[in-house]
Every structure is written in C-alpha cells, then in structure tokens.
Amino acid sequence: MSDQLIECVPNFSEGRDPAIIKQITDEIVSVEGATLLDVDPGKATNRTVVTLVGPPEAVLEAAVRAARKAKELIDMSKHSGEHPRFGAMDVCPLVPVANISMDETVTWAHKLGQRLGDEVGISGYFYEYAATKEERRNLATCRAGEYEALPERLQQPEWKTDFGPGTFDAKYGVTAVGARDFLVAYNVNLNTTSTRRANAIAFDVREKGRQKRAGDELTGPIVKDDHGNPVWIPGSLKCVKGIGWFIEEYGVAQISMNLTNISVTSVHVAFEECKKKAEERGVRVTGSELVGLIPLSAMLDAGKYYLRLQQRSLGVSDDEIIKIAVKSMGLDDLYPFKPEEKIIEYAIAARQSQQKRLVDMTVKGFVHETASESKAPGGGSISSAMGAMGAALGTMVANLSSHKRGWDERWEEFSAWAEKGKACHDELLKLIDNDTDAFNSIMDAFRLPAGSDAERAAKNQAIQDATKNAIMVPFRVMEVSLASMDVAKAMAEIGNPNSVSDAGVGAIAARSAVMGAYLNVRINASGVEDKAWMDDILKRGEAIQDQALALEHEILETVDKKLAEAD
C-alpha cells in the first residue's frame, strides 16, 4: 500500500443497546474510504470499542460523524458501567498504520479535535503523543474523577479543554483525542469471582504497580515518603496498564490490561506473567480475551514462543502458528476467536479486497482460470506458483526432520531451515498475484489518453514504469526461487532420508520457476527504453538461471545417490 493509512479506535459509552451502536457505526460505514474493521460491545462495561481504518481524511470524517451521532443518542447523566469514562465518545485515538509518521498522525489528531469542537460543539483534551501539555499525556490523568468530576474540574484553569467550548455538557461530557502507538486491549480470565483478587494481580503486573501499605497490601495505611507523597511499588511489566474487574455476563473476574507498546511487553509475555502472579495468590488463569484487533506479528510471535517451548519447528504455516497461540493463551475461552476478524491485516484484506485473488482459489480453480481465454494469469504467475510449491516441499522435509523420532536434539537446526523455506514460499505466493497485477498495470497504462504532448509524455512514462515493474516481479521470483533451493539442497543432504525424493522434486520445481520467470523478464525487455538498466537485469537474470541449473544438478545427484543406497 502506498497510500497513508491510519487506524482510529473510538470508544463509545454504550455497550448494551444494539440499535444505538448500529446507528453510530452506520455513520462510519457511510464515509467512502473508511473501512469499519471491528465493533466490540461489552455489557458489563457498557462500552463499545470500534476500530476503523483508512486514509486520514476519510477517518476524520467518519470520527466526526460518529461523534455527532453519539452526542445525539447517548446521555452520560444516566450512564453506568465498569470501565472508566467521561464522555459519550469517551476516547478517540489515532494510530499510524502505513506510510505515515507519528508526527503526521499528531497533526491529524489536532485537526480532529478542532473539527469536533467547531462542527459538533464537543469539548475535550489531547492525550498521548497529541498532548499539548505534558501533564495531559496520560489518559488516566485526563480522565481522573471521570464524568462525575467534570462540573468542578472544567472550572479549574489548569483543566481548560484543548478544544471545544469548554463548558460542562451534562448529556455528552467530554472526549479525549489522542495519537498513540498500536495498543492491544487484553483481558486475562481467572477462576475466581473476586474483584479484589483480580485487582491484586493487576497491581502485581502493571507498570504503575501499587501504593505501598503497612500491613495488608490492600487495606493497610498508605506509606508516604518524606515529602508526604505515597510510595509506589512498581509492577513487573513495562508499558502495561491494568485493573481487575468482574464480568457478570461470563461470571468471571478478569485482569483488564492495555498493552501500550507490544514491542516492550508482548501479549504472550503479559499472559505468562499473569499466570505466574495468579498462581502465587492461589488463583488460576483459565484463558484470555482480545478486545478489538491485534497485529499479525504479535500473534505469530506468541505462537512461535509456545512452539519453542514444545521444541517444535517454527517453519509451519501462519495458520498453524496462530492456532497454537490461540490455544496456548486460551483466546477462545469465552467465545470463538476468529483470525479474520481479530487480526488487523486479515481484517483489512477481507474488507478491502476488490476481487478474489489467485492465491485464494482452489488448485482446480487456478488451473481452470489459467486455461481460460483471459490473458492473466500467465507464465509469470505460474512460475511463482511452481516456485512456491518447490519451496514448500523443502520446508516440509525440514518440518518432518525436526519432528523425527530420535532427532529431538536437532529440532532447532531443522526449524531454522523450515523458517527459511517458509519465508520463500510465503513471498512466492504473494508474487503470484503481483505478476498478474503488473500485467494489468501495463494494460491500464496503454489505455491512458494521448491527445496532447503532455498526455503523450505522461502515458509513455506510465508505460515505462509499468513495464519495469512487470520485469522486476518475475526477476524477484527468480531470486526467491533460487534462495529456496538452498533449503532443498540441505534437506537432500541432511534431512529425513524417507523424504529425500521430495527435496529433489522441490529443486526441480524451483529450477523451473527460475527458468519460467526469466522468460517473462526477457519478453518484456524490448519495451524498455532504458537499455543500460535492461542489459543489467538480463545479465543478472542469466547468472541466476545458471546458478539454478547447476544447483539442481548437484541436488539431484545427492538424491539419486541416496535413492540408490536405499535400493
């Protein structure tokens, strides 16, 4: 994606009336370019977390419309719920997703606040990276005392709002608009109904920790320093906020956490630490729950962590890794975990896809589509598919070797090879559609108008750019397919001998992918005006093809030798 994308996660103080929630989310859906990814209502919290993504302009428009509808439908004077809150659209953070910096996101957050004040008459504060005052950076500080404290607080000069009229709106309250890193809202389920026990564990793990008390840690008198300030005992996890609560609809207490920087404290690390602290207090963790969405990388990191504990290969499919993560952390404890709805990359792809991709077809469907009268998919996509199949075979042998009885001490060695193979076949799968897209881009460029000198120049440049891209896609297929042959070679030499023929077939498929892709590089060469660039690509491509042929010969010699020994 070359366009700027931001995520917006508005939280609305209504989680019990589906009709109200739908009217608010319908406003978001009505904005072209804004993609609604997730709607997560909670009855006990009486709060709905909404996630949308899109270009900044579209996201801001959707947020303004949703806030206007929330102001119309939600009455904060009658609101009650387990979650801290002080407004109908309680918080509205913006999160950079693609091709946009945090500084740029802050600018858009300030624009959003300005629009909410000017167009909707909403007052509020900027927090996190968007904060205009350091003391307002922390959301909890902005929201201290919640809705009930607003009449008095808004009269204090130090709490004058950052945008809007700044007067108390009894029906709406105020809103906090922020710019922040990707935050994961994560709850850990306990085998207790005690909020007190859940809070104790939450205080053990959250970065802020707990106030030091003399005697009983929850009820004893607070210990103060020489200046009369409470002494705090920090928790064990950095970048984690948390409290304990009881969820009536599920009949369990939870540790409710916000992981504000998952590169510092990941989901699986938070889960394992909660398990440890719970056990120390005689409580057992039964599972966990994701509120809103999570990046794919976080789920893969979690799955790989648990695979390592099992001494299992990490070179299995993403689907398998995610399944291990879900089962290990009990993410399906309260209700089914649906990756296509909970993992942000999957959710975006599912909602933004304009057409069915080749890689999503059945093998039968792919073959029939290739054989049809359409010009794509063609040889480039087929070469990518052959390369992916070849790389997958090498990966398979590595995974089988990692799990072979008697080779337990070598699991990491083969896991590393499987990961290399997986990286190759994953990229080659993407290149299947990239090749077809590249061909379509050339066709689009030829359809551009050429009525004036300027239009003709623009058209020619577009054709040149598209042609170079149509060359570089199969060239990349060549590079990746050649890299996958290293895995096939290693598996032919040291892998499970019962699968040596599979390593050989993988090498043949990869070599074929290299040769097929090189044909696609060559057929587009005549259309490139930059002859020096094209000559360099052809020279490098020929060298890759020569390497692939030599490597195939070497691998098949090893395979033939081992098959002869087996005979």
Catalytic residues: 83, 435
Burial of 441 per CB tally in 10 Å (0-12, 13-18, 19+): middle
Determine the length of the chain.
567
Q: Tokens 């990229």 identify what position?
A: 427
How far is the first Cα of the chain from the last one, in angstroms, to the nearest whole number?
Answer: 53
Q: Which residues of 228-255 are buried (b: 16+ CB within 10 A; e: fewer)?
A: eeeeeeebbbebbbbbbbbbeebebbbb
Contact 397, 421 (CB under 8 A): no
Q: Helix 296-309 vs helix 344-352: angle between axes, to the nearest 10 degrees?
A: 140
Backbone angles phi and psi of 226, in degrees to 5: -65, -20
Give residues with Cβ within 8 angstroms of 390, minimum separation 6.
481, 484, 485, 488, 505, 506, 507, 508, 509, 510, 511, 512, 513
DSSP per position, 21-50: HHHHHHHHHTSTT-EEEEEEEETTTTEEEE
Give residues with Cβ within 8 angstroms of 535, minimum separation 6.
none
What's the CA gap between 129 and 105, in Å, rounded? 9
3-state secondary structure of 458: helix
What's the CA gap between 448 and 462, in Å, rounded? 9
Please name every residue paired with 224 in a beta bridge, in sequence order, or none if there are none.
230
What's the CA gap between 428 and 174, in Å, rounded? 50
